[in-house]
Amino acid sequence: MKRFNIFLVVMILVSMGFTSCTSCSNDDNSNNASDIAVVSVNSEHFATDAVSITIVPCTLSDGTKTDCYQIITNSTPSDHQMGPWCPDNIADGADAGGIWLENGEVYDVDGAFVENMAAFYEDDNWLMYDENGDIYVTDTEQDCINAANPAVGEEYENFCVECLPSYITDISQTYLIPITPVIQDKPTLFLSRPEGGARPEKPRDVREPEGHAGGPPGQSNAPSTRGIALNGVEFSAPAPVDNILGAYTLAPFDDAGGHINVHQGYHYHAATGVSLKVEQEDGHAALIGYALDGYGIYENKNQEGIAALDLDELRGHTDITRGYHYHVDSAGNNNFINGLKGAYAN
């Protein structure tokens, strides 16, 4: 009888031990944001020869008073060359031009692309070259400014718009990013642009400014800047491609997904894998920058070429190593992230 009681007590204790371990295991594997530490911005990831970083007090969009990294950059990448953008002749290959983003696809802007634009867009008004096959390209700073003007003149129809690094030697941009992200009660959603919408049949009278968040003016207080790449270049709002094409102009991006305007400097509209990155030891997609709210921005695909899954509406999710973070959209979508989970500096 006594031997039976001892056996029974042992079995009860073992059972209790298994129950306790199972509970601990579930807690450890929880993916709730409240269970995982917030990962602060690591300023050492930025290219020291491209940016100047100091710590300053700041007030965030939700009223939080905290410290921010003040990042000053000349918008010039030190890790890759800028350009080329426009080929000179319809016989030129892909190495003479940049890329164009259309309906989720990335196209080389080579001579053949320019030659076939009328067929590509099913619009005979496209003819960006002369009888010798030479492509009409803006070749002065003033032409660059005029062609990028919201009220672009008809004299720039059928021009390939190319603004050169020599036009932005004196530009400096300053950004504030909270050192430690502060989650908002309600995320900030960026205005979305319609996908695959019909192109206008003739040039519009007013062209949307490039820095705009992507929709009609006055409908959102969201910033147009999405974040900062580790090389100090801005991750910008989607390029207003409908309005660019509507004026019968083309403003290609280089192979890194960037181009220049004289007010904004060099900036990215897509992540193509060219810019500075920090590879992750666990095979996760590489870190390429930080959003304006301080959360990390990572490449679209991991080291095995697999795109991130289970993303929320902002293109973010959480893991134990990186906390909450974003994954950029595919390059062809002319987009980085869809909103900000955290508060951003005013």
Q: Closest Cα to residue 149, out of 239, 247, 81, 79?
A: 247
11 pLDDT tier (thresholds 50, 70, 90): very low
Report the alpha-carbon distance of residue 232 to residue 7 in Å, rounded.
Answer: 68
- 158 and 172 in a single domain? The answer is no
pLDDT digits (tens, 9 = 90+) for 150-193: 788 899 999 999 999 999 999 999 999 999 999 999 999 997 54
Look at residues 166, 185, 219 and tell me which one is the last residue of a structural domain. Answer: 166
- 305 and 221 in a single domain? The answer is yes
Mean pLDDT to the nearest integer, 39-61: 96
Look at residues 121, 150, 166 and tell me which one is the last residue of a structural domain. Answer: 166
Look at residues 144, 166, 188 and tell me which one is the last residue of a structural domain. Answer: 166
Q: How are beta strands 234-235 and 227-229 bridged, if at all?
A: antiparallel
- 155 and 211 in a single domain? The answer is no
Mean pLDDT to the nearest integer, 304-320: 95
Report the alpha-carbon distance of residue 149 to residue 203 in Å, rounded.
Answer: 13
What's residue 226's pLDDT?
97
Residues of the domain holding 248? 37-79+168-342
pTM of the predicted model, to two decimals?
A: 0.83
Which DSSP helix (H) or strand (E) runs through 55? strand 51-59
What's residue 36's pLDDT?
66
Helix/strand/coil for 232? coil
Work out how many domains the chain is built from and give that number: 2
Q: How far is CA 239 from CA 87, 94, 332, 337, in A?
A: 20, 21, 12, 14
pLDDT digits (tens, 9 = 90+) for 223-232: 999 999 999 9
- 249 and 290 in a single domain? The answer is yes
